Structure formats: structure tokens, C-alpha cells
Amino acid sequence: MVKLQCKDYGFECNFSVEGNDLSKIINDFGKHTEEEHGIEYSKESIMQFILRKGQ
């Protein structure tokens, strides 16, 4: 199971996404950060977030 939370990346935001479908998690987190925080992360960057967390 993978979980990404905005607060883990410096945002004062309670958004989180979790599950086993990496593609969906990457898309949902990327869409949220772009729409809510104005930051567009590449899919590769989000994958690096996941790998660094060791999930």
C-alpha cells in the first residue's frame, strides 16, 4: 500500500491519497498539487517521492 500526503512535502494541507494502484495515486496526487497548490509535478517526480518513502 502506498500513501502520499501533502503535509509530508511541505504543504499545510490535509490531502492524502493511498492504495495499491500506483498509476491512480500518481495521477490523483499530481492533479491535486497542480489544482490546489499551483505546482505541476511530473509523474517521474511523484514516483521518486514514493521511492524515497520506501513504500
- pLDDT per residue, tens digit, the chain (55 aa), is 999 999 998 999 999 999 999 999 999 999 999 999 999 999 999 999 999 887 5
Say what the pLDDT of residue 55 is.
55
Q: Within the chain, how many helices (H) and strands (E) appear? A: 2, 2
Say what the pLDDT of residue 53 is.
83
Residue 49's CB: how many other CB atoms inside 10 A? 16
pTM over 0.85: yes
For residue 21, what are the domain limits?
2-53
Say what the pLDDT of residue 24 is.
96
* Count of structural domains, the chain: 1
